[in-house]
A and B are shown apart, each in its own frame.
Chain A
């Protein structure tokens, strides 16, 4: 079945001037902000967004409106919005498109959200390796300020909101919401123990809402067109569209926006299918941490619920396609090199376990492993997986799911490395 893109977030990004404020205004930009500020109470904005059930696009899928509702009712401290643009999950490049090509969409989403949650100040945390996104946002903030959409007394409504760009220094773990808060505060970007959750005690120990770039970029549509219109997109489980970041062994890798519920097989086809006429070996559907899917498992609808039922996650929608030439042991080694290097080192299981797993898989890949090592590899991951209980944040889980799914689904390939004393694919 051939599918078509539905560009709401990526509307007009092919235009050279897609980032300019005039382009954005010509397409109806900032009207949602005006509507919210002039016609709606903050609580009405929250209610509308809650009704739209925008599930968190960072990967966890938590509904934005519900999250906003966790802010304490009795509160004398300032409330902050922090927009997570760290986008460091390997295989994910959706937020950067929004930040670089449609920065005003994000700003409008942030401004409406700040108004809704009562925040005077919002921070957009941009991944350190995204200098273009930083520059685009800085420029957009200046433009919006000049036109009166940002800063003091926005559009003469008396509402004042400031947004600031804060850049990371390249740590994966700073994409974890509390790690990001630590980083914005100027501290080492360590995730924090929960509870307290950010909505209660977040940035500078004040109530804070943390939302992903793509999540907040959906807010203007919901306010301008109404939640009903948003709910018409996607599925009951996951309304709206999502930007699919298709990478790896496909003919046309890239960021494509589809309504949620689109079939994963069709997404890969849309990206030109497996390249060079080769056979498909595996698909990682939701960023590097997602459980791998086999070719016969990809006839699945892409929404949070369906992919969870398929034993994986929708995650950040980073779809990585691996063709038949890929050594899955080497792929796992690569993944663990990343995760063990990015572990902040706080929690014992993650700090010690991820690197132990890396060492074991490295040995197997080099043909120096034993069959017992393959089982041990799985057990190590099983012993460090379990956010909430075993670790403070989900990095250990992210490092466990590839191990467990690769070892389970490609067990024979791991054992071949052991038996042949080398990589059977000649890698």
Chain B
């Protein structure tokens, strides 16, 4: 294994390691535009030049992205020669750049700004007319291209070819008239196309959805997990004014690397939909009327308790959403199976199209969690499939839906009318909820904390990015309230960390994972639950 020195510090690396990566291991950040750890090496921007003291090359500096570390190599990243090389590249990059930062979405997270400040000169020597190129080109519904801001690093072109597997972008023209364009005869239709917006180190590629919405420095960035399918890509929620402004992928080597799909990225509008529940509802004289949340929780427990006392748990059906967190599902099971003794437990499956990259056919984000925790009908018990039939047959007479609805199934929906009672917890007023006796106002993934278990068993954190509307409460708090009502003598359990700890004790698959380890802004945020279960 070669040992080299970078800025006087020695490091031994795997054979084949490039200098830019070796420097990273030492915590030395070498500026880069075209280089990205998830893409092939293009070596075209030339900003990552370093001085090579040993071995002697024909020129003092060369690009560190394509320089393989060798034994005895000596590199200087901040010598006079290296600084001049970068300052020269910076000058070249800005010659024809429009310098329109005040109206550019990338401002604040732009590598041109950052490196210009770090390694550039403060004055331009360019007295000529700038090259004019295409502006506001719609690459697709979602992506807008500005040719004048583009530095032709080709990250986007390489992403489409190498990661998305669809060569839908290309470089056209030559020299300083070169631009990126949708490849001749093709369309930018990849379900992963919006990753090029994040990859673009400058403001050339912008998201039509996020464009001009907010300066990025006003965003509160919260690490979280996408809930649009069972992949559970790590994301950053950018929020402002208690509203989501954008979702971007967050690096996670175990789950999604640097990427996410366009659907997941844009699938947050419902969080701010007008049908959100801001208050508990309790049926009064046949009509749902707003109620105090604590009162509604007590009322819900009363309905369950009376029913079970009178008829036993066999006539009760519990539907627990696989979109809830592990903690919520655990408390839901504690309440339904543990307290009430319900055996008719199920989730509502959601499937759609998947692919061989990130998008899974399972559209529930926490199916594995739900199954590990044990949300499934016991042998001979009623599941969701037989629910409507069982209601008709009089076998099921009461139901509790946690975070779930049966709006997709007209028969099940109709069957709800025949129930003696129905308790629903949800974040919006579904058709199902309209038929309930008590509706508990839960929240969406963006407004709560907890964990979900992805299709491969990686457990990732949700974190609260925005405040829930009105009096809505994190579902865990509502479930904790139900449990407290059932077991007033026991200490309440509604903090995510405490519930996760209890989950680890009750379900072996989760044992050994520390909740605190899961929160991280970078690096590995997931711990393999499935492996722990083995």
Give chain A's interface residues, CB within 8 Å of chain B.
171, 188, 193, 195, 340-349, 351-356, 359-360, 363, 376, 383-384, 386-392
Chain B: CB-nearest residue to A376: B125
Is the CB–CB distance between B128 and A353 below 8 Å?
no
Is the CB–CB distance between B47 and A348 below 8 Å?
yes
- A352's partner among B62, B92, B127, B174 (CB-CB below 8 A) is B92
B170 CB-CB contact with A under 8 Å: yes
Is the CB–CB distance between B59 and A353 below 8 Å?
no
Is the CB–CB distance between A193 and B175 below 8 Å?
no
Determine the distance from Cα of A351 to Cα of B91 in the docked complex, in whole angstroms. 12
B61 CB-CB contact with A under 8 Å: yes
Give me the 8 closest cross-chain CB pairs, A-B, nearest first: A345-B178, A389-B59, A352-B92, A359-B128, A343-B175, A193-B43, A346-B44, A383-B88
A200: shortest Cβ distance to chain B, in Å?
Answer: 13
Is the CB–CB distance between B128 and A343 below 8 Å?
no
- B174's partner among A344, A348, A359, A389 (CB-CB below 8 A) is A344
A6: shortest Cβ distance to chain B, in Å?
Answer: 34
- B89's partner among A345, A349, A363 (CB-CB below 8 A) is A349
Is the CB–CB distance between A352 and B176 below 8 Å?
yes
Chain B, 22-72, CB within 8 A of any chain A CB: 41-47, 49, 57-63, 66, 68
Q: Which residues of B contact A356 (CB under 8 A)?
A: 92, 95, 126, 128
Q: Which residues of A contact B95 (CB under 8 A)?
A: 352, 356
Is the CB–CB distance between B175 and A351 below 8 Å?
yes
- A355's partner among B45, B47, B152, B176 (CB-CB below 8 A) is B176
Is the CB–CB distance between A355 and B175 below 8 Å?
yes
Mask, B145-179, CB within 8 Å of A = 1, is 00000011010000000000000001101111110
Chain A: CB-nearest residue to B49: A389
Is the CB–CB distance between B92 and A389 below 8 Å?
no
Given A340-B176, A352-B92, residue A389 in contact with residue B45 (CB < 8 A):
no
Is the CB–CB distance between B92 and A348 below 8 Å?
yes
B141 CB-CB contact with A under 8 Å: no
Determine the distance from Cα of A5 to Cα of B57 in the docked complex, in whole angstroms. 40
Given A346-B152, A348-B46, A353-B92, residue A390 in contact with residue B125 (CB < 8 A):
no
B414: shortest Cβ distance to chain A, in Å?
Answer: 61
Q: Which residues of B contact A347 (CB under 8 A)?
A: 43-46
- B57's partner among A195, A354, A360, A389 (CB-CB below 8 A) is A389
Chain B: CB-nearest residue to A382: B88
B129 CB-CB contact with A under 8 Å: yes
Determine the distance from Cα of A76 to Cα of B127 in the docked complex, in whole angstroms. 55
Q: Which residues of B contact A352 (CB under 8 A)?
A: 92-93, 95-96, 176
Q: Which residues of A contact B43 (CB under 8 A)?
A: 193, 347, 392
- A345's partner among B68, B85, B171 (CB-CB below 8 A) is B171
Determine the distance from Cα of A390 to Cα of B174 in the docked complex, in whole angstroms. 18
Q: Which residues of B contact A363 (CB under 8 A)?
A: 127-128
What range describes how many residues of B lie at the interface? 35 or more
- B46's partner among A188, A341, A390 (CB-CB below 8 A) is A390
Q: Which residues of B contact A384 (CB under 8 A)?
A: 88, 92
Q: Which residues of A contact B89 (CB under 8 A)?
A: 348-349, 390
Chain A: CB-nearest residue to B151: A348
Chain A: CB-nearest residue to B95: A352
Q: Which residues of B contact A388 (CB under 8 A)?
A: 57-59, 62
- B175's partner among A345, A359, A391 (CB-CB below 8 A) is A345
Chain B: CB-nearest residue to A349: B92
Q: Which residues of B contact A345 (CB under 8 A)?
A: 152, 171, 173-178
- B85's partner among A346, A354, A360, A390 (CB-CB below 8 A) is A390
A-B contact pairs, 11 of them (CB 8 A): A340-B176, A348-B152, A349-B46, A351-B176, A352-B95, A352-B176, A353-B92, A356-B126, A383-B88, A383-B91, A390-B49
B131 CB-CB contact with A under 8 Å: yes
Chain B: CB-nearest residue to A358: B128
Mask, B356-379, CB within 8 Å of A = 1, is 000000000000000000000000
Determine the distance from Cα of A343 to Cα of B175 in the docked complex, in whole angstroms. 5
Given A193-B41, A388-B62, A389-B85, residue A355 in contact with residue B46 (CB < 8 A):
no
Q: Which residues of B contact A193 (CB under 8 A)?
A: 41-43, 66
A341: shortest Cβ distance to chain B, in Å?
Answer: 6
Q: Which residues of B contact A343 (CB under 8 A)?
A: 174-176
B474: shortest Cβ distance to chain A, in Å?
Answer: 50
Chain B: CB-nearest residue to A346: B44
Chain B, 196-224, CB within 8 A of any chain A CB: none
Determine the distance from Cα of A106 to Cα of B58 in the docked complex, in whole angstroms. 34
B79: shortest Cβ distance to chain A, in Å?
Answer: 13
Given A347-B46, A349-B89, residue A340 in contact with residue B175 (CB < 8 A):
yes
B4: shortest Cβ distance to chain A, in Å?
Answer: 17
Q: Which residues of B contact A340 (CB under 8 A)?
A: 175-176
Is the CB–CB distance between B152 and A351 below 8 Å?
yes
Determine the distance from Cα of A51 to Cα of B452 in the docked complex, in whole angstroms. 70
Q: Which residues of A contact B176 (CB under 8 A)?
A: 340, 343, 345, 351-352, 355
Chain A: CB-nearest residue to B153: A348
Q: Which residues of A contact B174 (CB under 8 A)?
A: 171, 341-345
Q: Which residues of A contact B92 (CB under 8 A)?
A: 348-349, 351-353, 356, 383-384
Q: Which residues of A contact B128 (CB under 8 A)?
A: 356, 359-360, 363
Chain A: CB-nearest residue to B178: A345
Q: Which residues of A contact B62 (CB under 8 A)?
A: 388-389
Q: Which residues of A contact B173 (CB under 8 A)?
A: 345
Determine the distance from Cα of A8 to Cα of B400 in the docked complex, in whole angstroms. 96
B75: shortest Cβ distance to chain A, in Å?
Answer: 13
Q: Which residues of B contact A355 (CB under 8 A)?
A: 131, 175-176
Other CB < 8 Å A-B pairs besides A193-B66, A345-B178, A389-B63, 19 of them?
Answer: A171-B174, A340-B175, A340-B176, A343-B175, A343-B176, A345-B176, A347-B44, A347-B45, A348-B46, A351-B92, A354-B175, A360-B128, A363-B127, A376-B125, A383-B91, A383-B92, A388-B57, A389-B85, A390-B88
- A389's partner among B60, B96, B178 (CB-CB below 8 A) is B60
Determine the distance from Cα of A291 to Cα of B352 in the docked complex, in whole angstroms. 66
Q: Which residues of B contact A344 (CB under 8 A)?
A: 174-175, 178
Q: Which residues of B contact A390 (CB under 8 A)?
A: 46, 49, 59, 61, 85, 88-89
Name which of A171, A193, A195 has the most chain B CB atoms within 10 A of its CB. Answer: A193
Chain A: CB-nearest residue to B40: A193
Name which of A195, A342, A346, A356 has the most chain B CB atoms within 10 A of its CB. Answer: A346
Chain B: CB-nearest residue to A190: B171
Q: Which residues of A contact B66 (CB under 8 A)?
A: 193, 195
Q: Which residues of B contact A354 (CB under 8 A)?
A: 175
B126: shortest Cβ distance to chain A, in Å?
Answer: 7
Name which of A341, A354, A386 has the most chain B CB atoms within 10 A of its CB. Answer: A386
Chain A: CB-nearest residue to B93: A348
Determine the distance from Cα of A341 to Cα of B174 in the docked complex, in whole angstroms. 7
Determine the distance from Cα of A388 to Cα of B49 in the docked complex, in whole angstroms. 11
Q: Which residues of A contact B178 (CB under 8 A)?
A: 344-345, 351
Determine the distance from Cα of A353 to Cα of B43 in the docked complex, in whole angstroms. 17
Determine the distance from Cα of A188 to Cα of B154 in the docked complex, in whole angstroms. 13
